[in-house]
């Protein structure tokens, strides 16, 4: 018996079984929403302005496809212990950065809302496209660029499902009446992007306006292969034109009598 050939065949068989297992495991993970991430969850009812304690929080593993950048990871638990709740929180509710006053209501720094791996990028939205004051921190937007290429401008989808971190100097979902917004800050919107995404927006901003389009918080869809638009779509209305008929009157001669 050729022991060398037998050992080689056995190793290849084991390698094939291991590869099949890893492939099957990857399919199971993708079908269930991806790798699981440990996040914070409310363990018992918490009233607004109550200080979060260890007993108020629990940890749960959730597929990454079902959470977003607003959800507080379990590794950030020390950052939310001892801070006040911004609103009433119910059991089994995931804790988000918008639910807690990270540094208290009086001092909430933008840098504390930027999650590892993301960057804060500020856009100046032209007022003729959108009133940025209608946006609130925590909203989701799509980012479009009006790129001046050649004679005709192009409307290009740059990013989809982007988190709004601040509007002007507001970082809270509920406006603080004590925070005065300067006129120069009214159209400023700060969003959370990756470093590569910030490069894309910076390049587009050199070629034309960059605007944000508000989307539903329940819409998790991401559209693919969206073509750039270079001209407005026009449709000819299906209208039948009929000649107007003059009404009959008793006057047949409108000439002035001599």
Tell me the three state secondary structure of residue 76: helix
Q: Is the pLDDT assigned to residue 180 strictly greater than 70? A: no
Higher pLDDT, 175 or 4: 4
Structure tokens at 57: 């929080």
Tell me the three state secondary structure of residue 194: coil
Most confident of 23-37, 180-194, 200-214, 232-246: 200-214
Structure confidence at residue 78 (pLDDT): 81
Q: Is the pLDDT assigned to residue 86 strictly greater than 90? A: no
Q: Are 144 and 170 in contact (CB under 8 A)?
A: no
Q: Tell me the per-residue pLDDT of 136-162, one tens digit each, with 9 for 90 and over.
A: 888 889 999 988 776 778 888 999 988
DSSP, residue by residue, 34-71: SSEEEEEEE-S-B-TTPBP-GGGEEEEEEEGGG--TTB
How far is 43 from 88, CA to CA, in rounded Å? 13
How far is 121 from 202, CA to CA, in rounded Å? 9
């Amino acid at each position: 018996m050729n022991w060398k050939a037998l050992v080689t065949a056995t190793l290849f068989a084991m390698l094939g079984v291991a590869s099949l297992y890893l492939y099957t495991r990857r399919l199971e993970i993708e079908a269930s929403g991806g790798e699981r991430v440990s996040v914070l969850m409310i363990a018992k009812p918490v009233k607004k302005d109550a200080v979060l304690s260890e007993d108020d929080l629990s940890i749960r593993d959730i597929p990454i496809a079902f959470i977003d950048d607003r959800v507080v990871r379990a590794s950030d638990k020390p950052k939310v212990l001892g801070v006040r709740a911004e609103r009433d929180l119910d059991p089994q509710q995931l804790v988000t950065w918008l639910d807690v006053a990270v540094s208290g209501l009086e001092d909430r720094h933008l840098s504390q809302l930027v999650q590892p791996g993301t960057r804060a990028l500020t856009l100046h939205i032209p007022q003729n496209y959108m009133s940025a004051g209608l946006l609130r921190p925590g909203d989701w937007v799509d980012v479009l660029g009006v790129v001046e290429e050649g004679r005709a401008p192009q409307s290009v989808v740059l990013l989809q499902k982007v988190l709004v971190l601040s509007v002007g100097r507001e970082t809270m979902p509920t406006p603080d009446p004590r925070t005065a917004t300067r006129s120069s800050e009214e159209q400023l919107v700060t969003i959370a992007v990756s470093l590569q995404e910030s490069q894309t927006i910076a390049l587009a901003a050199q070629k034309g306006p960059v605007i944000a389009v508000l989307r539903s918080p329940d819409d998790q869809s991401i559209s693919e292969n969206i073509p750039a638009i270079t001209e407005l779509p026009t449709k000819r209305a299906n209208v039948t034109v009929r000649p107007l008929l003059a009404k009959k009157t008793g006057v047949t001669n409108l000439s002035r009598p001599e």
